[in-house]
Amino acid sequence: MSLRAVTAAASAAATRGNGDHHADDHGGVMTPTLYHQFEDVEQQNESYLVGMWTFLVTEIMFFGALFMAYSIYRTAYPATFLDAHKFLSIPLGTVNTLALLTSSFTMVMAVNANQHKKKWSLINWLGVTILLSCVFLGIKGIEYTTKIHEGLYPGSFNYARANTMYLEHHDGKAGHEAKGIYPYFPSVQELATGYSLNRITPEDPRAVGVEQTPAGPFTSYQGAPSDVEYWSKRAQLFFSIYFAMTGLHAVHIIIGILMMGTLILLALKNHPYITQDYMPTEMIGLYWHFVDIVWIFLFPLMYLIS
């Protein structure tokens, strides 16, 4: 659908809204401020749309570079990514996905309300959207806190501690059961007694060329590259990418919340941006859908590796 068609459809929607006898429908035709550089409102609105989409292209490239880094490292170290991702909580991720998807829907409803000049409907839908994004950020905060508590943050990556805590969280299942989930993880007992490379099966690509000798205790390891060090670094890389991408995404969510808050304030003040125009809401809606779509890619790539 061309941009012109989109604008025409939106205008038609706005016109239809006039016949809608809703309680907070103030009716009347919208007359947005026409800025001096434009000939007419249609040109102005089309320019806004082209501008916003162009900006979103830059956003795609911004995140795209990180997605590329992710792809490269995941292709290089598939097994470690598979292992490391198991520290992420799929239920929490799923709730967050649902929250964001719903918030995209409520954002659409907010834009629709603005086009129909329903002030309180707009404020309510924006409020729900903000609420859902706060739910998202809250859950993200819980996840981050857990990761930091477990020592799974870059720079002071403590995978042994994470493993111990994981076992505690899973009703203290025995080491061999944990090994079922983490085939390359040493158990707590092994860490205490010294971890040996001999556990690597011959099929493991990392076994090639590795000297099959005990590598010494993990905690005071000083010598040549061992399996533990190898695993730690690569798993740390997974969490580097995880924090970089979800962190950048969270910053975008916060910016979105601030912009939606501004819209609510403008609506409360009966500002012409809201009463006579719907493009500001529409633009922020486009931005919000973009933020949502980024998460739609992040969720399977981070949480659902298999």
Partner 1 sequence: MSVSAFDPTGEPWPDRGGGNAAEPVEVGIPRVNYLNADHTIKSWLLTTDHKRIGILYLISISVMFLLGGLSAAIVRLQLTAPSGLLLSAEAYNKMFSSHGIIMVFLFLVPSIPATLGNFLLPLMVGARDLAFPRLNLMSWYLFIAGGLLTLGALTFGGVETGWTFYTPYSSIYSNSNVALAIVGIFLAGFSSIATAVNFIVTIHKMRAPGLTWFRLPLFIWAMYATSLIIILGTPVVAITLLLVVVERVFHIGIFSPELGGDPVLFQHMFWFYSHPAVYIMILPSMGIISEVIAANSKKRVFGYTFVAFSSVAIAVFGFLVWGHHMFATTQSMYASMVFSVLSFLVAIPSAVKVFNWTATVYKGSVEFSATMIYALGFLGLFTIGGLTGLYLASLATDIHLTATYFIVAHFHYIMVGGAVTGYLAGLHFWWPKMTGRLYPEFWAKLSAIILFVGFNLTFFPQFVAGYVGMPRRYAFYAPEYQIWQVLSSAGASVLAVGMLIPVIYLLWSLKYGKIAGANPWGAVGLEWTTSSPPPTTNFHEVPVVTWEAYEYHPIHDDDKDLTIPSPTAPEVTAEERKA
Residue 68 binds partner 1, judged by CB under 8 A: yes
Q: What one-letter code names the amino acid at 164?
A: T
Question: Residue from 9, 12, 57, 142 that binds partner 1 (CB under 8 A)?
Answer: 57
Minimal distance in Å, beta carbon 109 to partner 1?
A: 28
Residue 173 binds partner 1, judged by CB under 8 A: no
Residue 72 binds partner 1, judged by CB under 8 A: yes
Q: In this complex, which beta carbon is closest to partner 1, that of residue 54 or of residue 180?
A: 54
Minimal distance in Å, beta carbon 170 to partner 1?
A: 26
Q: In this complex, which beta carbon is closest to partner 1, that of residue 38 or of residue 105?
A: 38
Minimal distance in Å, beta carbon 70 to partner 1?
A: 9
Residue 38 binds partner 1, judged by CB under 8 A: yes
The 3-class SS string of the chain reads: CCHHHHHHHHHHHHHHHHCCCCCCECCCCCCCCCCCCCCCHHHHHHHHHHHHHHHHHHHHHHHHHHHHHHHHHHHHCHHHHHHHHHHCCHHHHHHHHHHHHHHHHHHHHHHHHHHCCEHHHHHHHHHHHHHHHHHHHHHHHHHHHHHHHCCCCCCCCCHHHHHHHHHHHCCCCCHHHHHHHCCCCCCHHHHHHCCEHHHCCCCCHHHCCCCCCECCCCCCCCCCCCHHHHHHHHHHHHHHHHHHHHHHHHHHHHHHHHHHHHHHHHHHCCCHHHHCCCHHHHHHHHHHHHHHHHHHHHHHHHHCCC
Selection from 185, 154, 155 nearest residue 170 by Cα: 185
For 9, residues 6+ apart whose C-beta sits below 8 A from its C-beta are 1
Residue 112 binds partner 1, judged by CB under 8 A: no
Q: In this complex, which beta carbon is closest to partner 1, that of residue 37 or of residue 222?
A: 37
Q: In this complex, which beta carbon is closest to partner 1, that of residue 42 or of residue 177?
A: 42
Residue 69 binds partner 1, judged by CB under 8 A: yes
Residue 32 binds partner 1, judged by CB under 8 A: no
230-259 positions binding partner 1, by CB under 8 A: 232-237, 240-241, 243-244, 248
Minimal distance in Å, beta carbon 223 to partner 1?
A: 16
Minimal distance in Å, beta carbon 154 to partner 1?
A: 5
Which of 17-25, 40-48, 144-152, 189-197 is the region at the interface with partner 1 (rule: CB under 8 A)? 40-48
Strand pairing partners for 196?
A: 214
Unique residue bearing structure tokens 């097994």: 79
Q: How many residues bind partner 1 (CB under 8 A)?
A: 40
C-alpha–C-alpha distance, residues 144 and 148, integer Å: 6
Q: In this complex, which beta carbon is closest to partner 1, that of residue 85 or of residue 118?
A: 85
Question: Residue from 8, 18, 24, 55 that binds partner 1 (CB under 8 A)?
Answer: 55
Question: Residue from 9, 29, 50, 192 that binds partner 1 (CB under 8 A)?
Answer: 50
Question: Residue from 154, 175, 216, 217 that binds partner 1 (CB under 8 A)?
Answer: 154
Q: What token pair was written down for 67?
A: 């997605």
Question: Which residues of this protein are in contact with partner 1, per CB under 8 A?
Answer: 35-39, 43, 46-47, 50-51, 54-55, 57-59, 61-66, 68-69, 72-73, 154-157, 232-237, 240-241, 243-244, 248
